[in-house]
Structure 1
Amino acid sequence: MKGFRKFLLRGNVVDLAVGVVIGAAFTAVVSGFVKDFLTPLIGLFGGANNDLGKKTWHSFAYGDFINVALSFLITAAVVYFFVVLPISKLTARFATKADVDAPKKDCPECLSSIPAAASRCAFCTAPVPVEFATTVPRQ
């Protein structure tokens, strides 16, 4: 179960799922805009009928577009409040917090920053002399 939780909280899975859901909802918005506004506008100026005496008015179905836009906004809000926000809080809860206030010192061999209590450098594995164990404040 821990492996599955780690897999889900890795971030890529949630981002991909949110992207697919929002992408599908946005596809409906674009399709609705084209169907309800652009197609009647193009039909008004150059429809299939070449006889200008038989031109008829094409209506803009703005109600359908408003419906699709509201569905997109509701979908985006639900995804944000029920998926993105809880996952980000859960990720923050399980994230490892580094102790940035721990005293540090520099390794005399490679000049890397290591904990003050270390007797061997983690980067170059050189032993740190006892007389060098003074704490150097890091900014």
Structure 2
Amino acid sequence: MGIMKEFREFAVKGNVIDLAVGVIIGGAFGKIVDSVVKDLIMPVVGLFFGKLDFSNLFLALGTAPAGTADTLQAYRDAGVPVFAYGSFITIALNFIILAFIIFLMIKQVNKLKRAAPPAEPPATPEEVLLLREIRDNLRK
């Protein structure tokens, strides 16, 4: 029974729950960044490089059967081993953009932390004020 109690204490700690929430939000955020790169950035980059589609850049490491279309998916469907460096370029670009966005977010959070005004000191209790008044009267 002791191990179950320890596990429950571990699982309910704030850090574990925060981590779980972070992983879930991170997964969703990763999909958003993937879409931004795939649907918004890569078409613009491809336009500058002559309508180049990075996701379809590959090097066939075998021979494809006759009549196979010259696309990455067609080669994979035919069972031909491929070196898909275009997919790697896309994923690397996703990582760089995601890292840059996280950097900007952390930079903003740190800026907000520095800009936060210092908290007001707590009000002096009435007892302390009375004792100070008595002390000051005794000095006169």
TM-score, length-normalised on structure 2? 0.35
Could you say which structure has the higher helix fraction? 2
